Chains A and B, each alone.
Chain A
């Protein structure tokens, strides 16, 4: 381009101005953005100067007449189901036989989403929607009992289940799942699957059986112990170790449990979030606090040397619970799904695939006779023995946020150092 081009008007006048006038410097632009942003931000600040509490926004479910509430609902033919990954029977193409049978039996189409990987994160995601009374997009969610689940019940965010529409649930649920400590009478929850938290050890390395929490303090195992990094897990283990039932424990017991954990501290190599099963196999640790389902899968995968044990002081049981958010768009369809998976033949399909503790004891015979899988049917890790259940305890149920904070303040210093 030459001067004559410009002179002849061959150049866009706007571009010409841009090329010749003093341009907005980058620094100047940033300053401008700052000033504009300042004004916008102040208004945003004024709009957002509080986060509403759940006490004010939660719809306490005692205020709702649940018979009337359910009478107003009807089957919609769609179900949005949020569950954990790999937590339902699946063939090689990812199709679930139990979901297929559900659609065939009820005509309800299921949108099955494996979107829950962690209760805390999922809670953080849906809490703002539930607080605002909006749909979360899910009619049925599977959540582990714990503080967040207690919060959802306390906030009135879960619909009370209509047991009259759940004949299979009432008839087939195991007694220990019908009356969980965190949800008396199973008013808001129906167990999907459960699992135990006890101990696992590598028999080749320990050179003998481990039977109790007391064994963890054996100096031979110094530096060879792993624990789970969730404070409710190591806290409950420590309570059992000092002979206190978690559900009946008091803050004074919690402090004693921490002293026990401090005594154990020199022996512990690591507090595991995940990966403890690899560490047990490869010898990083010899003994670890463990989930029963993980060890079942390890045994089935050709590692018989890793043993799961219910410590003689006891083990805790956790439940992954189906629950219906109060803002669900298809609650009746969700209710039908809850009842459907309590049919023994369906419970058997699921338990035979996921290998966690089934809430339906009658599924055992189906797995043994119809599905022909004695390894699963006869495993105490899927269908626990009465002796095992006698030593099984629930987690402590938090009364309110202050109680939960108190537990955190007492137990967190064990891993936060």
Chain B
């Protein structure tokens, strides 16, 4: 066997053990019928997908999926709008000796447990938390105005929690851009604005795409933010999968919901990559 194939073996083993086997097992569980007492048997029950997502579904899983995709998209857009300038500043404007401390600040939040971070957001956004108290002082919010329990709180939590995952890949790409490109665009009479939109932004597309991969996938499937920060109408597909598996013990339902979620994410991201993202998905690494 030649060296390249031998090297690929390790990768192949990794893919098989940690990706393909779980994936196939998930697909096959989703096609089973049964309950924890009698056991689940593979009956090729493709009907479960129509049952869960069709018009007559007993539980509106399609709504939970749609809501998760919507919240995840908005959170992703927010992280781009906020994260891009941060990454830009770090790459081009921050003095060299400040770069490491500033980058550490960005990832610092990751040192605290995800649950605790989310929980602290609940405190900050709470009725007597710093934000609402301040807004009330300024008479910008009435006494009954809430943030916690709304879609806004959930989307904010999702965006906050994945913020570093957007900043870091964009920063990495911006940092690598050849500075002479900017000189060239200036020499060709591009204003700084035009220069940014015609040079910097297109050259950092791959970073944005990596950020979107990390943030969007993470946000759409997240079960925690909606549980801790959300309210009555923020139930998302991640919570539904968790409840179906752990609480209702409907392993087939949980597997089918996960499969549909994966498919939806896959289709959306491939479409994005195809039409506006990057020329070749393999250029990303």
Contact = CB atoms under 8 A, between A and B. Distances in A.
Interface of A: 14, 17-18, 21, 23-24, 26-27, 29, 32-33, 36-38, 40-42, 44-45, 48-56, 120-121, 124, 151, 223, 229, 265, 268-271, 273-275, 278-279, 281-284, 400-402, 405, 408-409, 412-413, 415-417
Contacts of A18: 3-4
| Pairs A-B, 7 closest by C-beta atoms | A53-B39, A282-B128, A284-B127, A24-B4, A37-B20, A41-B24, A49-B42
A38 B129 CA distance: 54
B128 to A, nearest CB: 4
A23 B274 CA distance: 27
A297 B118 CA distance: 23
B41 A50 contact: yes
A42 B27 CA distance: 12
Contact of B251 (A40, A49, A51): A51
A44 B42 CA distance: 14
Contacts of A120: 246-247
B169 to A, nearest CB: 19
Given A41-B21, A283-B127, A270 B148 contact: yes
B42 A271 contact: no
A275 B35 contact: no
Contact of A279 (B37, B127, B245): B127
A273 B239 CA distance: 12
B37 to A, nearest CB: 5
Given A33-B15, A37-B12, A44 B21 contact: yes
A223 B144 contact: yes
Given A27-B282, A223-B144, A55 B126 contact: no
Contacts of A274: 119, 228
Given A284-B146, A412-B248, 11 more contacts: A18-B3, A37-B19, A51-B40, A229-B227, A273-B228, A282-B129, A283-B128, A413-B59, A416-B235, A416-B240, A416-B243
11 contacts: A24-B4, A42-B24, A44-B25, A51-B251, A53-B34, A53-B37, A120-B247, A124-B245, A278-B126, A405-B248, A416-B60
B231 interface: yes
Contact of B246 (A23, A29, A124, A229): A124
User: Which of A14, A223, A265, A279 has its CB near the most chain B CB atoms (within 10 A)?
Assistant: A279
Contacts of B246: 120-121, 124
Given A45-B24, A282-B127, A284-B148, A29 B11 contact: yes
Interface residues of B, number: 58
Given A120-B247, A279-B127, A282-B128, A54 B37 contact: yes
B249 interface: yes
B58 interface: yes
B119 A50 contact: no
B41 A417 contact: no
A44 B29 CA distance: 12
Contacts of B11: 29, 33
B52 to A, nearest CB: 13
Interface in B30-70: 32, 34-42, 58-60, 64
A268 B146 CA distance: 13
Contacts of A44: 21, 24-25
Given A44-B25, A45-B25, A24 B8 contact: yes
Contacts of A229: 227
A45 B127 contact: no
Contacts of A53: 34-40
B268 interface: no
B28 to A, nearest CB: 5
B119 A275 contact: yes
Contact of A24 (B5, B235, B240): B5
A279 B246 CA distance: 27
A223 B149 CA distance: 11
Contact of A284 (B19, B28, B37, B126): B126
Contacts of B247: 120, 408
B232 A51 contact: no
